[in-house]
Amino acid sequence: MRNRDVLISGASVAGPALAYWLRRHGFNPTVVERAPALRDGGYAVDFRGRAHLTVLRRMGILQAVEQARTGMGSMWYVNDAGQPQAKLPADLFSGDVEILRGDLARILYDATRQGTEYVFGDSITSLTEDADGVSVTFERSAPRRFDLVVGADGLHSNTRRLAFGPEERFVRHLGVYCAIFTTANHLGLDHVGHAYRTGSRLVAMYSARHNAEAKAVFYFGSPLLDLDRRDVARQQDVLAEHFTGNGWQSDHLLREMRRAPDFYFDSVGQVRLDRWTRGRVALLGDAAYCPSSLSGMGTGLALVGAYVLAGELAAAGGDHRVAFARYEEELRAYAEGCLKMGDGVAKLMIPSSRLAASLLNRYYKIMPYLPGKNMAANIARKAAENITLRDYPRK
């Protein structure tokens, strides 16, 4: 086996999933993460269909994921007084199994910390490749050598920037911003969500962790803003500017926002690259093929991608040239299908005017009675299942 020592950037979902499979195949993974510790909280992510559940089962974590599942039911659109107006089915939002991203990260970390080196509070600053490997420098740690490097560090991938070029070449902004944070379940939501739409703004709440808390979610339409991704105070100010006086629970949640321990704010975007690998560097998950947080496909796609990348490295005996080419061949069509799911979702969720929002709300009211009421969920399931997973040899 060649190229055993693999550096992975990113300890959220794709990175630990890759570390799991690499270790099973006899590689030595090291995971570096900019955050000082695992990130808790975050939005709910879902798995749907045969491919997603097969990977979870083969990893031995399906039971743990099911035990931590949100158990979410339907999402109700409400009026300003909080009265239900239209119901969207649970399958459209939560698939077969839904779990908070922070809970999933913890499960993956627990499954990989034995045999995987984790380095928190650090990040890559340079990559210098030669015929025998990659010399890597870090913000805090001493320089090291690795055989291969994998960027699993999300939409704003630092690894992608260093190895492939600036972000604007690969990330397409979908005209929407998203914010999410944990708050008290003061509405007493019972495994259900409520959403309130006004023009190009949407604010929602859904229960979490067996109704012990709730997640507040804000979406608003906007061109790309010149914001520092680490300036939380400014991000919160921007959110307040868009939603103060918006109605329903908006003002209450904005007050709670200032005390939230896990405030997240970002643009909604897609990532498209002609190639996911360059030399000894590969990209995985959102860093390579983010279908957008609105698609509901990103987390399952990341886990399938990790399974395929590690499996192809093992099948090729560590020959990265062969393995990287096969990784692209096996996953390209599947990733494109998931990316297609993300196209158009932003316009449906965040219409451009109050009139469009009103018309969409009326459509949602009658949707349960239409022949094609399950069409969107069925399309998502078909895209999620559109791959045949190989059985890769294990060490």
Cβ atoms of 281 and 6 within 8 Å: the answer is no
Is residue 389 included in any domain, yes or no? no
Average pLDDT of the residues in 46-53? 91
Gap between the Cα atoms of 192 and 215, Å rounded: 11
Number of domains in the chain: 1
Closest C-alpha among 105, 80, 305, 363 to residue 198: 80
What the block records as the tokens of 166 is 């600036």
Bridge partners of 181?
216
Range of the domain at 345: 5-349+376-384
Q: Indicate whether 258 pLDDT > 90.
A: yes
Cβ atoms of 123 and 32 within 8 Å: the answer is yes
Q: Which pLDDT tens digit goes with each residue over 117-137? A: 999 999 999 999 999 999 999
393 pLDDT tier (thresholds 50, 70, 90): confident
Is residue 363 included in any domain, yes or no? no
Average pLDDT of the residues in 46-60? 93
Is residue 159 included in any domain, yes or no? yes
Phi–psi pair at 242, nearest 5 degrees: -85, -25
Which helix (DSSP H) or strand (DSSP E) does residue 192 occupy? none
Residue 27 is classified by DSSP as -
Is residue 355 included in any domain, yes or no? no
Is residue 87 included in any domain, yes or no? yes
Task: Give the 3-state secondary structure of residue 194.
Answer: strand
Average pLDDT of the residues in 301-312? 98
How many C-beta atoms lie closer than 10 Å to residue 376's C-beta?
17
Is residue 391 included in any domain, yes or no? no
Average pLDDT of the residues in 141-145? 98
Task: Give the 3-state secondary structure of residue 390.
Answer: coil
Average pLDDT of the residues in 260-277? 95
Average pLDDT of the residues in 323-332? 97
Residue 143 is classified by DSSP as P
Query: What is each CA distance from 55 to 49, 50, 255, in whole angstroms?
Result: 11, 9, 41
SS3 content of the chain, % helix, strand, coil (to 5): 40, 25, 35
What the block records as the tokens of 215 is 């997640």
Closest C-alpha among 73, 55, 259, 31 to residue 159: 31
Cβ atoms of 286 and 13 within 8 Å: the answer is no
Is residue 370 included in any domain, yes or no? no
Percent of the chain clearing pLDDT 90 (strictly above):
73
Pairing of strands 28-33, 44-47: unpaired
Gap between the Cα atoms of 207 and 189, Å rounded: 6
- Which CATH number covers residue 280? 3.50.50.60
Is residue 359 included in any domain, yes or no? no
Cβ atoms of 295 and 341 within 8 Å: the answer is yes
42 pLDDT tier (thresholds 50, 70, 90): confident
Let me know how long the chain is: 395
Q: Which pLDDT tens digit goes with each residue over 19-38? A: 999 999 999 999 999 999 99
Average pLDDT of the residues in 268-285? 97
Diameter of the chain measured on Cα atoms: 65
Q: Which pLDDT tens digit goes with each residue over 56-94? A: 999 999 999 999 988 888 889 899 999 998 887 776 667
What the block records as the tokens of 391 is 């059985």
Q: Which residue type occupies 310?
A: A
Q: Which pLDDT tens digit goes with each residue over 361-373? A: 666 666 665 555 5
Query: What is each CA distance from 273 to 7, 169, 180, in whole angstroms?
Result: 21, 9, 28
- Which residues in 223-238 are b (16+ Cβ under 10 Å) and which e? eeeeeeeeeeeebbeb
pLDDT at residue 80 in the model: 94
Q: Indicate whether 103 pLDDT > 70.
A: yes
Q: Indicate whether 162 pLDDT > 70.
A: yes
